[in-house]
Structure 1
């Protein structure tokens, strides 16, 4: 038997750290017996705790709040969504009432914030997909060497290349570089909102071009595909996680979804969420919500492009994105009949 009760996140457990644990050689943190230990969370949910109250200045705060929120802070949090983006991506929102949504996990009672229901969408491979697309391309080793010699990341080098390509080719905006390249990012199935583990990834528009520039286009098309997948799931979000540090990734999400994205001031939001749980367990705050409001802080706000051509372009690509899956279903049926 593992236990009879479920504790809220951040709830102080027992009498804190036991003498045996405090003395454990592999601990080596200088902790003493009795140090408060709070109920923990999985990494993505801790990220939600670390970012969900990261509200910007009042004008943005008012923009993000629904008219139905009024001045009730307990309801305002129900009108936000957190994007925790890393190897995979989680899209999380909380509500006072149970919400059963096809293709979305949950609702889970008090799974992230006490006394709220958590619903969670997700994409099975995002950062992992970008790594795969880049590393499997013939130009990847050359680009990796260039990035190392310039003491920059491979992603930043690709982002810089795309800026240069846009200027050289006189494209109206950076996203237009992928007008002939379309990606369906379901390389590891579709978690939300279709919930199809048999879904496969698609890259449309491949040529024999082995250049670094072609890899940059494919990288951009994949970033856009991930954002179209997010658009398929959500409308408004706050973002954190490793990929939130990629400026191109975040700007494409803002442009494609059509709403501002709030980045937290603390880039390591998962660690901040864990620290908040500890602070609540140590009685520094009376509850998790109080600690979140005190310790969450907004950083940069990324706005969608105001260029109407950008919206028109992404609307067209999103239509193709949705059609790629429908075509896959049709082709799957044709092959199933052939093998029947």
Structure 2
């Protein structure tokens, strides 16, 4: 098999990791005069909203192969739920398919890392699922990140003005875990009494794989109000990188009505917290290894949230041969913002000092890159919004059929229609096609920088036209609205002491050239795309490489395995800038008008 392969037949029983290595060496020595080094392959697993994906990378960070498997999801109003059992089965299918496609044997996988959405998992003392659903269906034990059932609980928690809130942009989002936990306690008392562990999904995956329920600084700091800098202080005092959790604020949990989660040294929410990439337990358990088609004992690194894995997979992807980037010092990383563009978009920037930015999550200590403070902006619906806009248009089915007949995606066809319209109308540039249609993209609330979960989307400039061309214009205006939202976030961060001047983009939407070019033109900064488009998978694989001790730190692994691809520069045409400045002004006014209208209606109903 390529790269060394096995030295024994498939029927040879697997031994424990240390014995297996010894036997491998003996049999290789018997078979050939010289020892053939086994290649190192790093496996990353990413669980998104709709699928589980697995990717295998070599020691240069190049993708050898990837595969995906769909995940079941239940949506009922504000409630969005999944099954951890279904998710695990999908992961196993994806890993086996990826290994097969890449011709990688299980024993060639040197390390494994997990990334996932920041969904909430409930399991009992046996590790079995506990329902978090009104239906009582025990399969539905995952509250998905986008679930907004806990808006009232979030408002109540925020009213207490706890000191932990200053590390979340001043207020908790209903997408974070404390409001969701409070909702379950208040509405599903039987389930609440049955749950033995509450876990972020990526932490549950590493627990399911290793039996070690150590939580990640990434998940606990970003979604659970864990104070990572308190963890830092204990690390410096005791010189350890895997400490008993010491960043929980017990007064906060008592105040919001969840004091029972403090019991047993926080056993239900995390007694031990570690840096991303920390080697967990004894690696893969025999059971998990068999299910995944891998080898027991394979190192597994402490997990990351999927967006943060994207940051790790792309943050150091700068073109070193380019004079513009060649002389960057070590602090240049603090001038970059990563856009992880998928169902939602996350905006990740790091700094050496803690920066408190109203309406933007953080500062989170070591939540992505160890020993840096993370600032995290976000838009709750981007890819999901584009899908919604397109799928709910009357021209969508016919357009989808046309795209399928041409063997291209619906987005590629829409981009072609826009290019044709630009030429037919003699438009000076493509963006000018939307001069009389404007979109406020807050269809699922505003995560940042306004932090208003009650915000609504607005489309201004509709007509009776139901043609494919009208859908193309609506699509373009929505892309622009998303980009104006990102500009708002970047400007807000820079107004609060960040010095962002370069963007790096990854995720599904980053593969769309119009999406990226509009962002570059609207924000006015170059956007670097990574060499490997599967940056979230690479970020997860980097965790496995660090756990396997192939690199001394996450920072070193990022520099070794990240690589730049195309650089997209903003237009130099001053007319383009003038146009987008005008539309951005309208974008900002749309929200102000919404606030005014909300006030008028509140007074009318008072």
Alignment TM class, shorter chain as reference: over 0.9
Quick one: distance in 1 between partners of 2:285 and 2:326? 46
Q: What is the number of residues matched between the two proteins?
A: 328
Quick one: distance in 2 between partners of 1:177 and 1:322? 20
Match of 1:61 in 2: 325
Aligned match for 1:273, one of 539, 550, 575 = 539
The answer for unaligned runs of 5 or more in structure 1 is: 66-70
Aligned match for 1:247, one of 505, 513, 526 = 513
Aligned match for 2:367, one of 95, 99, 111 = 111
Match of 1:21 in 2: 288
Larger CA Rg, structure 1 vs 2 = 2
Alignment of structure 1 residues 278-289 onto 2, 5 Å: 278-289=544-555
Quick one: distance in 2 between partners of 1:142 and 1:22? 46
1:306 and 2:565 aligned = no
- Aligned CA RMSD, in angstroms, stands at 1.2
Quick one: distance in 1 between partners of 2:536 and 2:324? 24
Larger relative contact order (Cα-Cα within 8 Å, sequence gap ≥ 6): 1
Match of 1:40 in 2: 303
1:193 and 2:449 aligned = yes
Quick one: distance in 1 between partners of 2:287 and 2:460? 58
Match of 2:62 in 1: none
Aligned to 2:301, the other structure's residue is in SS state coil
Match of 1:232 in 2: 488
Deviation at 1:14, TM superposition (A): 2.0
Query: What per-residue deviation string (whole Å, max 9, x for no partner) do you get for residues 234-255 of structure 1?
Result: 1541110000000000000000
1:208 and 2:464 aligned = yes
The answer for unaligned runs of 5 or more in structure 2 is: 1-266, 491-499
* Structure that is richer in strand per residue: 2
Deviation at 1:41, TM superposition (A): 0.6
Deviation at 1:278, TM superposition (A): 0.5
Match of 1:132 in 2: 388
Quick one: distance in 2 between partners of 1:222 and 1:21? 43
Aligned match for 2:313, one of 37, 46, 50 = 50
Deviation at 1:207, TM superposition (A): 0.2
Quick one: distance in 1 between partners of 2:564 and 2:310? 14
Quick one: distance in 2 between partners of 1:314 and 1:111? 34
1:315 and 2:571 aligned = no
Deviation at 1:178, TM superposition (A): 0.3
Match of 1:68 in 2: none
Deviation at 1:62, TM superposition (A): 5.5
Deviation at 1:77, TM superposition (A): 1.4
Match of 2:96 in 1: none
Deviation at 1:109, TM superposition (A): 1.5
Alignment of structure 1 residues 73-92 onto 2, 5 Å: 73=330, 75-92=331-348
Aligned to 2:282, the other structure's residue is in SS state coil
Aligned to 1:41, the other structure's residue is in SS state strand
**Which is worse superposed, 112-121 or 12-21?**
12-21
